């Protein structure tokens, strides 16, 4: 058994946000969505360790997951419009629409180096929080064609690739699920057999957000993979980010005090800075009416993937 390491203390980078999500390290900077202000922000680290913030673009319908095309354009999930928008540095345009594929609010996204992407969703609407149903991942081709794969997931959230697997956080099942990745005849990623990568506590036999929030030991949210094949997990009902090996062993953690971690990304010059999007624990405040979300950062042991 490896020694569990507590990483260096997390420091606050930026305050006064509604709800930060979807952080991605790209082109020497951290890009992140702020839900209810409908803004995508870019944080650039300076030589003195501070970060400057600038507005990249505004996205109607609440931005969430971020990613980049092979040409470097920004892709942004519009949660309420159930679409992916493309920002080329000057103009925002619709890249893909998939309201015909899912009923719930769109959420996090992973864009592969090939230009294909996967988008998760709530499995319920904001107006009906108790209407949770199994759902799937929207797969989007480099030219914007969308279909639904990996069905029967419970609130698919953070998404990473580790080795030959696509790993998805099923938040209200308290579980990380891995799918074998293959290749279709058209060159796109094919979803294969699934297995449980990590189960937090006992798998629930119900679909109930309120009950899961109080009964599950962890609600896995955003994910980030590192170069060793371990995964950093944001805990939406805890007060830390945790790094797990492929066998499920806890290797390292970052404490964020009274807040919870909803998403995270590895970045910095050596990919050893863990950026954490934090806010009060789930259900404590209404992020559409408050600006309690903060961006934090901590130095960790292993570089990002």
pTM: 0.95
Please state, for a pLDDT cut of 70, what percent of the chain lies above it: 97
What is the band of 136 on the pLDDT scale with cuts at 50, 70, 90? very high
Provide CB contacts within 8 A for 41, sequence distance 6+: 31, 32, 33, 34, 53, 54, 55, 56
Q: Which one is predicted more confidently, 127 or 238?
A: 238
Q: Which one is predicted more confidently, 184 or 24?
A: 24
Q: Which one is predicted more confidently, 284 or 179?
A: 179
176 close to 233: Cβ distance less than 8 angstroms: yes
CA dihedral of residues 258, 237, 55, 68 (deg, nearest 10): 140
Q: What architecture is domain 5-299?
A: 6 Propeller (2.120)
CA–CA dist 255, 237 (Å, integer): 13
Q: Does the pLDDT value for residue 124 go beyond 90?
A: no
Domain spans in the chain, listed from the N-terminal domain onward:
5-299
Q: Does the pLDDT value for residue 277 go beyond 70?
A: yes
Average pLDDT, the chain: 93
Look at residue 125 in the predicted model and tell me its pLDDT. Answer: 66
Look at residue 137 in the predicted model and tell me its pLDDT. Answer: 98
Look at residue 128 in the predicted model and tell me its pLDDT. Answer: 64
Look at residue 127 in the predicted model and tell me its pLDDT. Answer: 58
């Amino acid at each position: 058994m490896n020694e569990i390491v507590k990483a260096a203390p997390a420091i606050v980078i930026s305050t006064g946000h509604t709800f930060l999500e979807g952080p991605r390290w790209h082109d020497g900077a951290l890009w992140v969505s702020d839900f209810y202000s409908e803004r995508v922000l870019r944080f650039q680290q300076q030589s003195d360790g501070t970060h400057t913030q600038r507005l990249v673009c505004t996205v109607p319908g609440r931005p969430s997951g971020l990613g980049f095309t092979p040409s470097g354009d920004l892709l942004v999930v519009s949660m309420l419009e159930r679409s992916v928008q493309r920002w080329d540095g000057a103009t925002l345009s619709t890249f893909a629409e998939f309201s015909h594929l899912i009923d719930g609010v769109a959420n996090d996204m992973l864009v592969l180096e090939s230009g294909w992407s996967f988008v998760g969703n709530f499995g319920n609407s904001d107006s009906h929080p108790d209407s949770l149903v199994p759902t799937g991942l929207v797969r989007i081709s480099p030219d914007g064609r969308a279909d639904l794969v990996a069905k029967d997931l419970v609130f698919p959230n953070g998404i990473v690739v580790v080795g030959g697997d696509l790993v998805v956080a099923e938040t209200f099942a308290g579980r990380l699920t891995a799918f074998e990745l293959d290749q279709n005849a058209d060159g796109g990623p094919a979803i294969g057999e699934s297995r449980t990568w990590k189960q937090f506590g006992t798998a629930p036999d119900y679909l109930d957000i309120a009950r899961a929030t109080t009964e599950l030991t962890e609600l896995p949210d955003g994910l980030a993979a590192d170069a060793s094949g371990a995964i950093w997990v944001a805990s939406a009902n805890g007060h830390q980010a945790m790094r797990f090996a492929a066998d499920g062993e806890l290797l390292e953690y970052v404490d964020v005090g009274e807040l919870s971690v909803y998403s995270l990304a590895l970045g910095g010059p050596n990919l050893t800075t863990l950026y954490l999007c934090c806010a009060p624990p789930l259900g404590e405040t209404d992020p559409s009416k408050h600006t309690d979300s903060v961006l934090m950062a901590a130095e960790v042991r292993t570089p990002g993937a």
